[in-house]
Structure 1
Amino acid sequence: MDIKGKVFIVTGGASGLGEGTARMLSAQGGTVVIADMQAEKGEAVAREIGGAFVACDVSNEDDGRAAVDKAVSLGKLMGLVNCAGIAPAEKTVGKNGAHALGLFSKTITVNLIGSFNMIRLAAEAMSKNEPEATGERGVLISTASVAAYDGQIGQAAYAASKGGVVGMTLPIARDLARNGIRNMTIAPGIFGTPMLFGMPQEVQDALAAGVPFPSRLGTPQDYAKLVKHIFENDMLNGEVIRLDGAIRLAPR
């Protein structure tokens, strides 16, 4: 798929991996709808890149439809990148007792159900597209995590939510093959995002040193480069790509 002239939705596009992706897509000639709950940041990024902003809780059906409808109003919706997510940390049994069930449920709702909600709604709209010369009508990309494979202490909820994203990658690709829609997932390792930058510098340095090569934190630009390649390489479908510098997480 050629990005130029197409419309894309990026959830979580107000910051971090999503912002890096939105800026890349705009630089390549795409029109971007940023779907995020951070209105001030999202509107600012949208203005800078000549895109649009929609306030969106990805787990809410009406919000998701509003984002898709906005994208369709701007042209041919050909891509969705799911970057919205939360990463709480809590042990199964901690000092204060059992893991809060509400927190576990919220993590699943945002990270897994939210991703699927946006996938199903975007795919519905893409299915109505006139196909490209290759027969393609759209591409869906979600964000998992290496925690889906190497979940650490305190990551039961997060790892479960991202494991679900990994698990649905292939069946969704198979579901949508007849529609000419590809579905892919990226599983980032340790990336320099707003969540990580809130940690002490010595912690950030230690995390970077633990990456075999390159021994640094991943950047939103690294993520965006892979998104670009996935959009442009139509043989990539139904797969999860680890973007992690060969790291395998220790228990803690």
Structure 2
Amino acid sequence: MLVVILVLFASALLGGLVERFIPQSSSGVKHSLIFAGSFLFSITIIHILPEVFSLAEDPMKLGLYILLGFFFQQLLEYFTSGIEHGHAHVHEHVNGASRFGLVIALMIHSFLEGALLTHDSPFHEKHESYSLLIGIVLHKLPAAFALVATLKSGQKLSAQVWIILLLFAVASPIGLLLSQHVLALSSDHLLALFAFVSGGFLHISTTIFVESSPNHHFGIKKFVVSLTGAIVAILTEYIL
């Protein structure tokens, strides 16, 4: 578990630090985001959802949790303006009140991600895989990148931005620790939680696809990057 916690923390921290060296408008950033979105979408489809429904006594009820998670993520994005899927707002002024809402919403989102990785869940008893961790890491990197790009002013990171980045970095490990050692959720509650979080993942990943093609034009590069993300997700799921 210690390795998982360190990976979650380091990925968020690294994503924020990399922003200092790579411009937001870089095509590499855009393609990396598409790859991460495709990977996360694929893991949700081939890993989370099949196991959720295969273990459910009432699949229809879990479908409602997925739908609730989808719209809850949309509600969170009212406060974050889409930072979870790498959408930075470098030209907008973020005041104290909006920063507070942004931090709380991002921490809730990251907390739920961490809870999804609990090792005493029925998922991991049935299928031990690091594909889900990799998907979350690939998602956290651009999210941290966009967070720093939105909040920073000038070339240096202020103390406040550092604090916010650190809060974002520790939220997922806290979610993992609480779900595994403190909350002691039952199998039914874990299934509901995983279904709820998977709805959020579907919202984030599909939003990435939409934003990468604002005019809905087919792009061969986007298609190849998306397909590569899906193939890597499949290989990761069945090899690791």
After TM superposition, the score normalised by the length of structure 2 is 0.37
Higher strand proportion: 1
Higher relative contact order (CA 8 A, sep 6+): 2
Larger helix share, 1 or 2: 2
TM-score normalised by the chain length of structure 1: 0.36
